[in-house]
Structure 1
Amino acid sequence: MPDNAPDANVAEETATPYAPGLRHTLAEDVYAFLIGCSLIVMGLVCLHKAGLVTGGMAGIALLLSYLVPVSPGMLFTLINIPFLAFALRAMSPGFAVRTMIASCGVTFFAGLMPRVITVSEIDPLFSALFAGTIIGLGILCLARHQAGVGGTGIVTLWLQKTRGINAGRVQISIDIVIMAISALFLPAHKILLSLLSAAATSGILIVYHRPGRYIGH
């Protein structure tokens, strides 16, 4: 390759995913929000039925739902408030507003889901892998449309944007802390499966959410 050939990584990062002509339309954003929020909530439903937790905001909400008589969706919203305030200060106004909309979308679908689907039984191992994966896909879907689901996701995306630290790897570190706390309340076998779920979620972000690929600014 000639010495003056552009570096592949630079070329990837300076590609034009943000060019005006390539920005997502409002209809595409709405569609992505519907998909992302519904996937996240479906994952929560499966994990809750199996008595598992996971990483991030979803894991915190799930753990608390086993300890207090409040639904994971409502807990998700309440815990999210300080993180959304951080987003308003640390991230762009557009990202903060979109994240607020996504958070409300998760709350909406959390209330709607029991009306449209009932999970009577689910294998815990399948729940860990399936739910972790679709939660990761939901987060990815929102991130590629310059939004997050709030909570620890805001922190990981902020670190990736400002420090170049991969969001998936940061999330794994946060998830370890969440799992350590969960171990005080849940049986060991459920913690192991919950770790598997969190790894499935973070794996999606590590593989598919890289700098220069639809990361909000």
Structure 2
Amino acid sequence: MTEIISENPARHTALDDLQGLAYGGTMAAFGIIILTHLGLVTGQTAGLAVLISYATGWGFGPVFFVINLPFYWLGYRRMGPRFVAKTFVAVAILSVMAQILPHYVSFAALHPGIGAVIFGFCSGSALLALFRHGASLGGVGIVALWLQDQTGFKAGWTQLLFDVAVFALALTLRDVTTVAWSFLGALVVNLVIAMNHRRDRYIAT
């Protein structure tokens, strides 16, 4: 049977967007709970917030929320007010849920390899949901797109260089084995996004 795709797909409603942001923010927070329970790290802005949290003892949620504040101006210029508003909501949900969930979720046993993979699946699905509802988790991704516009330097390279710096810094706070498991988690996140974030297949707006 041939699949028929409408040339004018229905736009997301406000309720669609709300559930997408709630799902994305909450699942991302659950991924962070797994990550920090195991003492692992990750890339991007979340990874920097995790490292600051480890080094200072401050909660991940407030650190992540504050780190993202300077990026909204760039997001406004590059993506527009609708994107910034949704991203702000998604970041706020993640920040709040990352503080709340540890009071209700615990792990009696969790192997770092299994935890890294589950973190990758949770975070990847969270980001997919946010992307599909016109949002992100802010941070370095916005800077990467802005630099690409201004200089032509590929956004992917900017994000890769940032991740290399984050993981290099992680080696000063965590042992090599922990960083290796962390790399596995980051790899799974990126594979989930690369294999599923297809605008030619997902056409809802």
Q: Corresponding residue for 2:194?
A: 206
Q: Is the 8 A contact 1:146 1:216 kept in 2?
A: no
Q: Corresponding residue for 1:114?
A: 102
Q: Corresponding residue for 1:4?
A: none
Match of 1:93 among 81, 106, 125: 81
Match of 2:47 among 52, 55, 59: 59
May I ask how many residue pairs the two structures share in their alignment? 199
Match of 1:129 among 112, 117, 138: 117
How many Å apart are 1:137 and its aligned residue? Answer: 1.1
Match of 1:48 among 36, 39, 50: 36
Distance 2:119 2:29 in 1: 9
Identity %: 31
Match of 2:138 among 139, 144, 150: 150
Distance 1:173 1:188 in 2: 19
How many Å apart are 1:159 and its aligned residue? Answer: 7.6
The DSSP-based 3-state class of the residue aligned with 1:22 is coil
Q: Which TM-score applies when normalising by structure 1?
A: 0.80
Distance 1:110 1:75 in 2: 11
* Alpha-carbon spacing, 1:177–1:160, altered in 2? closer, same or farther (3 Å): same
Q: Which runs of 5+ in 1 are unaligned?
A: 1-11
Q: In terms of mean alpha carbon deviation, does 207-216 or 144-153 score higher?
A: 207-216
Distance 1:117 1:51 in 2: 16
* Alpha-carbon spacing, 1:25–1:158, altered in 2? closer, same or farther (3 Å): farther
| 1:127-149: CA deviation from partner (whole Å, max 9, x where unpaired) | 11110221111011101100001
Q: Corresponding residue for 2:185?
A: 197
RMSD value over aligned CA atoms?
A: 2.9
Q: Is 1:29 matched up with 2:17?
A: yes
Distance 1:117 1:61 in 2: 21
Distance 1:101 1:152 in 2: 17
Distance 2:185 2:132 in 1: 22
Corresponding letter in the other structure for 1:118: S
Q: Is the 8 A contact 2:141 2:155 kept in 1?
A: no
Distance 2:103 2:36 in 1: 16
How many Å apart are 1:214 and its aligned residue? Answer: 5.7
Q: Is the 8 A contact 2:87 2:138 kept in 1?
A: yes
Distance 1:160 1:146 in 2: 20
Q: Is the 8 A contact 1:29 1:145 kept in 2?
A: yes
Q: Corresponding residue for 2:62?
A: 74
